[in-house]
Each structure stands twice: as C-alpha cells, then as structure tokens.
Structure 1
Amino acid sequence: MEKRWSIKENPESEIEAELSAFDDIGPVLGRLLALRGVRNSEEARTFFNPSLSDLHNPFLMKDMQEAVDRIQKAISAKEKILVYGDYDVDGTTSVALVYSFLRQFVPEISYYIPDRYEEGYGISYKAIDMAVEENTGLIIALDCGIKAVEKIEYAREKGVDFIICDHHTPGDVLPKAAACLDPKRPDCSYPEKNLSGCGVGFKMLQALCQQQDIDSESLFQYLDLVVVSIASDVVPIIGENRILADMGLMKLNRNPGVGLKSIIRVSGMAGRELTISDIIFKIGPRINAAGRIESGKDAVALLVSEDENKAYGMSCTINECNETRKDLDRNITREALALLEDNVAQREKKTTVLFHPEWHKGVIGIVASRLTENYYRPTVVLTESKGMITGSARSVDGYDLYHAIEACQDLLENFGGHTYAAGLTLRPENINAFIEKFEKIVSETIRPEQLVPQIEVDAEIGLGDITVEFFQNLKRFRPYGPGNLKPVFVTRNVYDFGTSKVVGKEKEHLKLEMIESTSPKIIKGIAFGKGHLLEKIKQSQPFNICYTIEESLYDNHQPFQLMVKDINFREE
C-alpha cells in the first residue's frame, strides 16, 4: 500500500532558533523540540530532564479536595473500601496502584474487576449489590464511571458512596458521586488533560499524601504501574505524562514490583533495558490477556502480589492466556480478512464493519486494529454476547472515531472511548441500520487523504548530518509515545554503495549500505519487507528514504542504523 510522506509544518522561527541554541543541540533537534510543543529554553530543560518536582499540584483537579476528604473520612470511620476498575491494562494497573497504597492505612479494603462477559465494561449493578451486602461504605472507581449516572444513583440510594477517577469524555450530566475526578470535565482546569485512568488515580493518592503529610516516596514506588498504564492506553507522552513515564521506566528497569518483575521474566526480557515499546508489545498484552481469556482479577492479584514464587506461577498462567489470545487473534483475523477479500462492494466503502456471532469478544479490538492496518478505514468488529451485539472500533490517523460513533447513538445501547478507539453495544435488529449510518457519517466527515496511510516526517536531513553526537542527543528525546513519537526523517537522492543485499528466510528484507553524492560517508540501514526493491536499487539510480534512527548493538564502527520505513524513487 502506497504511503504519503507528510513533512510537518515549520514551527515559529524565533522559537526554533532559541531551542537550537539550547545545549548546542543544533537546528534539526531544535526543530524537533519545537514540533513537540516546547516553546523556550526553560521548557527544553524540563523536557530533557523530567523531574517529579515538576508534577502539577493535584488539587488543581476539580473535586480533588472532596475526594481526599471522603477517603480520610472512610479511614477515620474504619469503613470498608472497595477499589473498582476496568478489566484492561489501564483499569487493572489503576486498581493495583490504589489498592496497594491504601491497604497500608485501611484494614478492610478489597478490589473488584467486572467480568468482561457477564458484566461488561464500566460500573455494574452486581458489584454495587455485593458492596451493599458486605457493608462497604465507599467504592473508588478507576478508569470508568464518568457516564454511569443511573448506577451511581442506585448506589447512593443504597448508602454506598463513589469516588470516580476517570479520563474518558463525560456525558452531558455527571454522576452524583462524592467526587468525580476527570481532567476532561468541561469545568476542570487541570493542566494535563490526557492522563491515563491510572494517572488520575495516582494524582488522587498524591493529593492524599500532601494533605496527610505522607512521604511521597511511599507512592512513587508504584510508578512502574503508572508507566505500564500510560504506554498500554496510548495516551500522549508529553507534559506530566512524560515525567510519569520517564520516572516509571526508571523504576521498571531498576526495581520493578514483584508482579511486574515476574511478567518481565516470563516475557524473556529480564536483564535488558525496557522501553515503552516493550510495555506495548510484551507486558501490556499479557496483563490484558487475563481479562480477555479468564478474568481481570487474575491480573490484579499478580500486580499486587508480594510473594515472588506465587507471582511467577501466576505470570506463567497469564502467559498461557496470552498464547490462547494470540491463537484466537490470528484465526479471527484470518477469517475477517477472507470475508473482506470476498466482498467486492466493501472496497468502495469508507468504513469497514464486520459481524460474526461466534467471534471471541475478548480479541475483537485487536482484530479491528489488524483490519485497520490492512485496509486503512475506520473499522468496527462486532460479535454477539448475551443476546446483544458488542463491538470494538479503531480509527485511522487524524479521524475522530468517537464522534462518528456518537452520531449513531440513537441506534446504540451504550458506547464510550477515545478519538482512535471505542467500544459499543447495540441490539441485533439495529446492526444493518448502524452499518448504513456509520458509513454515511464517516463518508461525510472524513477527508480523502485520511484514507491513505501517512508517514509524518519531522525533518529532512542528509546522511552526513547523522553523527554519533547527533544520535546521542536524539536519544535524549526518549521515552517515545503519542505526542512524542520516535522522530522520522527523510533523506533524498541516496545511492546504493554497491553492497546492499536481501536478507531473511524468504529474502524479504533489504539490508542497505547507502551514500550521498555530496558525502563519502556510508550509512547502514534495514528495510523490512522491501527485498523486492533490490534490483531497482542496484541500478545506480537515486532513491529517497523515510526512516527512524535506532541503536545498533552489533556494530562497533557505527553505533546506530537506519530503520527504513519506506522507499520511493520519485524525482523531487
């Protein structure tokens, strides 16, 4: 599939000039800082040197005082507290964080993760009834609850208070909880709007520490849980999230909690430096697999464990769930792709919507992501569960999927999510109407260029610009993630040095050695899946490359290599 290369707009020249002079990093890296919203040298210092002292005052968040007061009241009155969260990574890490911290002060505290299949997403009546039976006075809901108006009212009538710690977009009416912590509330002036659910829980505990004069180090020891939530929930890693992610990665690499340490071990990553990508592709899926295949409670039990032997046993079980998840994912994706291949009419549409009553509910979100990668359309994958149709949706770059689904809410029983990912529930009789309306809404609101995969390019540079010093400064931009993606560069009119070759079992990859006409410097790179271009590259004609710069662990002469994302032969 052909891709568009889109070079980002130039930042303001005055800002770029000031940042280029910071630490003598030069114009290219100064541009990168400006593109990430850094406006001056002081902000550059903060960006390159994340510090917990730069975290925002948690009491800037609406209802924070009410939340802290209600927790203190529960502690003083020796009330039972239930920590409640969603079954995904953000929800389970949130519950593990708040439960682990509060159990130091609350004798009767427990946690609850709803069953994905029996209860579904969000607050459940079953959990509220259980809390009533057990004389629980306070439920702290994490990564969910901001739209649960009726259920919170039901709990209030039963004498159970809620504190909601959510980061999803609220509805028109807020629940009547003791406190609703959500930086996306229209009336909330908290500076960081894109915290993860676990991040909101962390801010609540930070406020409690401040008001109760509790040593913050007792909270910071759980930052490894926070970074796992940030990476897995794909929130922007800028501003406060960058501080939490950087400090959390440090904790994860130096001294992770018992549960995460055991996951790292079964993932085969013990002994090496972990990155955000390792969380996304190795740690997160294993935690998620518990809720997809068995129960999210198993993930929390592992994350709060203090016994290394028991934690390792639980990690092995969760690892088996992940293998089952991968098998389901592969099989259903194969079936879905076959359905699309056979559907000629589907190719003319601006959306992809597939329904199969027997597809496993736990993996349809992953399948939706796979289909989006293949066909590059806003995608919804639906299955049947308990007489209802439930689905997961994924978007393409730059298109607000949540608003498109919101426009179909007259056909839905429930929905929620973000710009690029959402979940929805509808009645079987509404499937066809939803497919038609979703296609209509998207067709009217999506731009043609949004249906073509795009590679956003940070800067155009020459191969001669890539020096060891440049690479060392580039590494200071880590950790990477949304809002601070790994910088992408373009170099035009490069040539094969004569030693490029194909590699891989099927000779499908291209190992490159390149030069420019203006420089004798040889730069090495790898282009996965581009082996078919070798013959054209060998014809001594110039070509253009789009790439990131990665660390090379096996070359003493060149400590970096180019990870080539795309190659074209267009004359510029």
Structure 2
Amino acid sequence: MNFRKNNKKHALRWEWEIRQHSAEAVRQLQDSMGLNPLLARVLISRGMKEHADVESFLNAQLANLSDPSHLVDMDKAVERLLRALNNREKICVYGDYDVDGITATVLLVRFFKRFGHDAVDYCIPNRISDGYGLKRSAIDRIAGSGAKLLITVDNGIASLDEVAYANSLGLDVIVTDHHQPGPQLPAAVAVVNPNRMDAGQTPNPLAGVGVTFKLLHALRRHLDVDIAEVNRFLISMLDLVALGTVADIVPLVGDNRIFVKHGIQQIQNTDKVGLQSLLENATGRDVVVSPNSISYYLAPRLNAAGRHDKAYLCVELLLTDDRDQARSLTRTINDLNDERRSIENDILESCLAYIEKNLVVEDQNVILVEGEGWHIGVVGIVASRLLERFYKPAIVLVVERDLARGSGRSIDGFDLYKALSACQEHLIEYGGHKMAAGLTLQAKNIPLLREAINQYAEGAMDEVVQTPRIYVDAEVFAEELTLENVSALSQIEPYGTSNPQPVFFIRGVSLLEPYRVVGNNHLKLQLCKDGLSFNGIGFSLASCYPELEDSSRTFDVAFTPVINDWRGNRNVEMEIKDIHFN
C-alpha cells in the first residue's frame, strides 16, 4: 500500500491508503471474464484475482449460501426444535431491542405461525430496567407461561448463569447469537454461534438475524412440508434478514452479501404491510432501497423504539397484517425517533462539555465520558458521534446511584471487546464485539477503568491505527470517468462494511469557478481536468479546506464517482472524500 498524508486544517488529519494492483493482472481479468476495465481494477485492488472468487462475488446467488450444518451444534438445535414442533410444545423466542434482535425475533415467530405452530410467544427485554441479554425475571415469566423451549436470538452467549437457571426450571434453551463467546459457553441444548472457535469452526461474520436464518435453513429439510413452500417462505423473509444485517453493521461479504443483495429486492417489493408503511413514511413512495436508505431511514426509526423501551412496537409492526394498525404503529415509532434525536443531541453537548472540562483529548487513547441523568438507550449513538469527531474509541457511561452502565464504539484496528476483557477486574459485566460493546461497573471503578483501558490501548494501538484513513482503490484519469465505466461499478453493490463504494483519486484538478457552500456546510465545486469538467459535492466539508480561497491552486481529489440523473440528463459527478493540495 502507498500512503499519502494531507495537510487539512480545522479537521481530522486523513491519510490516503492507495491500494496496489498489477496492470497485467487487471488486463488478464478484464480479457478473460469480459469485465469493464474500471470494474476489473477495483476487484484486483481488493484482492479478488481468481475467476471463481470474482464470479461468486459478482453473482452472489442464493445457491452459494454456506451450508448451515457446518455451524457447530446446528444438528442439536434442529433435533430439539423438531421435537418441540412435533410435540406441540410452547416455544418462547427471546430477542433483543435493536434492529438485529427485532428482525430475528419476527423471523422465528413468523416461521412458526406460518407452518402451523401457534404455541409461540416472544419476549424483548426492557432496555432500561432489564438491560441486554437473558434475565432471571424474564425466565420466571417464560417458565410460568408453560413454555418448554426457549430460543435466544442475537443474545445468550454470555448468559451462563441465566441458562443454568432456566435449566433448573425445566426449560430447555437453544442459544443463537453472533457476539463474541467467552472462555466458557452456556449449558444450553445447543449454542449456535458462527464465532465459536472451540470446534475448529471457520468464523462467519453473520448478524444475529443471519444466524436465525441459518437455523431455519437447516431445519427446512426435516419438516413434513413441501420444501419448495419452505424455500419460498425463506426467500420472502430476506427483507427482514437484510434489514437486521445492514443495521448491525456486519461485513457485507460472503453470506451477508447474498442476504443483502436479495433482501434489498424483497424490501423494495415487500409483502409485509408494516415494512411497507415504515418505508413509505421514512423515504416516500419512489425511493430505491439500498443499504444507505436502511442505515439512514429505516434502522434509526426501529432502533429508536428500543431505546425508549418500546421495541415490542417494532415486533408488532413487522408481524401485523392490518394496514391501519401498521400506520398507527409507524406514526408512534416515528414520533419516538424524533424524540430520540433531541435527547441524543442534548447528551452529545453534555459529553463535549465534560471532555472540555475534564479531559485532554490528545492524552486519551480511549475517550471515556460519564454523566448522570442521561438516557441509557442513546449513549451508544453518542459514543459513535464522539468517535466520528475525535477518531478515538469512545465509551459513554450513565451513572445511577452506585452503578454505571453504558456503551462503547471503536475504530478499525482496535478490538473493544478484547480491551474490556483486559479490564474485566473493574467490570461487573460486559459483552459485544470488536467495534461495539456494552458494559456495567461500580461507579467508583470508573477512574480505574479509564486508566486501565488507556494503558491497554497504549500497547494495542500504534500510530497507524490511530490515524484515520481513506482507502483509495486506484488512480484514474479524467477520460475514464464515463457513464459506461461508472455504471459498471454498480456490479459491486450492495455497498457496506468491508465492501465500500469504490474510491478513486485524480491528480492536478483545478476549479472552474469559486467554490460554493450549500445546504448544511456542504462543499460544491465545479472541477476541471484535461479539458473535462465535473461537478463535485463534499458533504459537511465546506469548512475543511481554506486553501480553496485561492482558486488558482491545483489539487488532488479522492472521490466516489456517482451518476446524477436529473430530468433524463445523466452525468458523472464526484462525491468528494478528501482533497490534497499540491
């Protein structure tokens, strides 16, 4: 990789990491597979050189989904689930209050009811009073309801004591989860987790809803139902799988890429009246569904209900077949999202004031902020906002009496789960994965945690990890930015984590006219290179480049090419990521 530092003022210091590729390898791939040259260059730069890998990536067929039986304990889970179905046992699905947990819950409940097993209920924990994961109070209610089988979705891997307690009440437990396992697994009938390493299992970065889908995928051949009918049902549920997968920000590679590619089509044409209502309310009737529209419009609304301890509204929205009920639930969820935004902004301002008063940001490897009276349901979002602002792992804790609970978010290259594991002597409980985690501790231990996690980060993060990066796929020339070439890049979609939109850079660009500031601090440019002109937009970048005041300067631009279609006129434009001045 090549690295290029920028001299940006009044903003984060970005480096461009330019991926390397062999021109000969690009030519061979282009000729042998008939690929567009710009597309071939991106694929090679991302390490896809073998024809089979390229074919699998570009086609992303449902037939290419990995065999669910390869997941450890899947056979045990299927056997116990079949016994419950055959014996008409009552089943309870225990979910989570985020989009991943909600969609996984709906997927299982819909499956059971669709194939004639009405003895099913679900439970979503209260985010504030219960917190994340299995709780004894919930297990008491579930056992008291007559349930014989409890299935966790998107949680359970860390609930050792709770699973043992459920067993003591005569309640069998199947754990399906994707969070990082600890050194000991719960004593469940089956623990299906793609991140289990105890049996030589190859890790698969599925979301919780993806693991749930795998369970049903494995179960389908054992049911006394026409398999074609089960297949049609599972395909119709890919809208839920895509929704939960994108919302949980898991890598869009392998199975996840297949889920999302086909699931987006299902969302666009969904038969679920609740999802139709949510989509129309959030985006309008004619929106083209993409991971971006899920991330920015659908997921925040569903998550907002969970943050207000009303995740059950989202479950009911995605289960209902009543259009009037769907519209009513959508209005309520939308109102909760508006309230969430206001609370989030207030807490963010409080966090920034805390940092200004108590911390020297440059001296912190991990930013840890504490406060009283904050809404526990939104501190994860606030941690993300702090990370975006300072490009450092961030933890936001809410102190209530002698306890502190909160959430953290991390940067590429720093495993937050491992960091908390190294500091567990100061914690009551914690869980999560590399990029996000939740934790609980005695409030008096907050200074000890701050010191311990910063000391751990001192040894775990070097300057490379701490420097924000833009990954550039290749250098391009202006004449290569044609409608044909840019259109060909759509074969890489759906974009997301580990499969971002292509980013290119072009040298020696100049301004055709002075820059403009439009909207909310967006930078609007008209760029010129080699006699060709392009419009450019840099979202939230208007205050980042004072050098642009000198319109005679030339500069290099890192950008994503996009096609603007306005009233039938299609043009290539640049979505600017960063500028380096010559």
> How high is the TM-score relative to the length of structure 1?
0.94
| Counterpart mapping for 1:499-538 below 5 A | 499-504=513-518, 508-516=521-529, 519-531=530-542, 533=545, 536=548, 538=550
Residue 417 of structure 1 corresponds to 432
| Counterpart mapping for 1:236-251 below 5 A | 236-251=251-266
Q: What is the letter of the counterpart of residue 513 of structure 2? A: T
- Counterpart CA distance in 2 for 1:226 and 1:278 is 15
| Counterpart mapping for 1:252-267 below 5 A | 252-267=267-282
SS at 1:396 equivalent: coil
Runs of 4+ aligned structure 1 residues displaced above 6 Å come to none
Match of 2:52 among 42, 59, 74: 42
| Counterpart mapping for 1:254-333 below 5 A | 254-333=269-348
Cα deviation digits, residues 402-431 of structure 1 (max 9, x gap): 211111011111111111111111011211
| Counterpart mapping for 1:403-552 below 5 A | 403-496=418-511, 498-504=512-518, 508-516=521-529, 519-531=530-542, 533=545, 536=548, 538-552=550-564
Q: 1:379 to 1:431 in 2, by over 3 A?
A: same
Aligned length in residues: 566
- Counterpart CA distance in 2 for 1:302 and 1:22 is 49
Q: 1:460 to 1:505 in 2, by over 3 A?
A: closer
Q: What is the letter of the counterpart of residue 71 of structure 2? A: M
Q: 1:289 to 1:155 in 2, by over 3 A?
A: same
Q: What is the letter of the counterpart of residue 549 of structure 1? A: P
- Counterpart CA distance in 1 for 2:363 and 2:378 is 26
Using the TM superposition, give the Cα deviation of residue 505 of structure 1 relative to its aligned residue in structure 2, in angstroms.
5.5
- Counterpart CA distance in 2 for 1:188 and 1:304 is 36
| Counterpart mapping for 1:136-155 below 5 A | 136-155=147-166
Residue 559 of structure 1 corresponds to 571
- Asked if the contact 2:379/2:397 (under 8 Å) is kept, the reply is yes
> How high is the TM-score relative to the length of structure 2?
0.93
Residue 357 of structure 1 corresponds to 372
- Counterpart CA distance in 2 for 1:344 and 1:152 is 41
- Residue segments in structure 1 that go unaligned for 5+ positions in a row: none
Cα deviation digits, residues 132-168 of structure 1 (max 9, x gap): 1111100110000112111111111111011111111
- Asked if the contact 2:15/2:467 (under 8 Å) is kept, the reply is no
Q: 1:366 to 1:530 in 2, by over 3 A?
A: closer
- Asked if the contact 2:46/2:473 (under 8 Å) is kept, the reply is no
Using the TM superposition, give the Cα deviation of residue 362 of structure 1 relative to its aligned residue in structure 2, in angstroms.
0.5
- Counterpart check, 1:185 vs 2:200: no
Residue 41 of structure 2 corresponds to 31
Match of 2:174 among 160, 163, 166: 163
- Counterpart CA distance in 1 for 2:28 and 2:74 is 38
Q: 1:96 to 1:541 in 2, by over 3 A?
A: same
RMSD: 2.0
Residue 69 of structure 1 corresponds to 79
- Asked if the contact 1:417/1:423 (under 8 Å) is kept, the reply is yes
- Asked if the contact 1:83/1:139 (under 8 Å) is kept, the reply is yes
- Counterpart CA distance in 2 for 1:111 and 1:57 is 27
Q: 1:201 to 1:477 in 2, by over 3 A?
A: same
Using the TM superposition, give the Cα deviation of residue 541 of structure 1 relative to its aligned residue in structure 2, in angstroms.
2.3
Residue 395 of structure 2 corresponds to 380
Q: What is the letter of the counterpart of residue 499 of structure 1? A: E
Aligned-residue sequence identity (percent) comes to 34
- Counterpart CA distance in 2 for 1:347 and 1:4 is 16
Cα deviation digits, residues 482-504 of structure 1 (max 9, x gap): 110111111111112x2353042
Using the TM superposition, give the Cα deviation of residue 66 of structure 1 relative to its aligned residue in structure 2, in angstroms.
1.0
- Residue segments in structure 2 that go unaligned for 5+ positions in a row: 1-10
Match of 2:385 among 370, 373, 385: 370
Cα deviation digits, residues 300-336 of structure 1 (max 9, x gap): 1111111111011001101111111000001111111
- Counterpart check, 1:172 vs 2:172: no
Q: What is the letter of the counterpart of residue 208 of structure 2? A: G
Q: 1:219 to 1:539 in 2, by over 3 A?
A: closer
- Counterpart CA distance in 2 for 1:501 and 1:130 is 63
- Counterpart CA distance in 2 for 1:425 and 1:63 is 30
Using the TM superposition, give the Cα deviation of residue 20 of structure 1 relative to its aligned residue in structure 2, in angstroms.
2.9
- Counterpart CA distance in 2 for 1:385 and 1:311 is 36
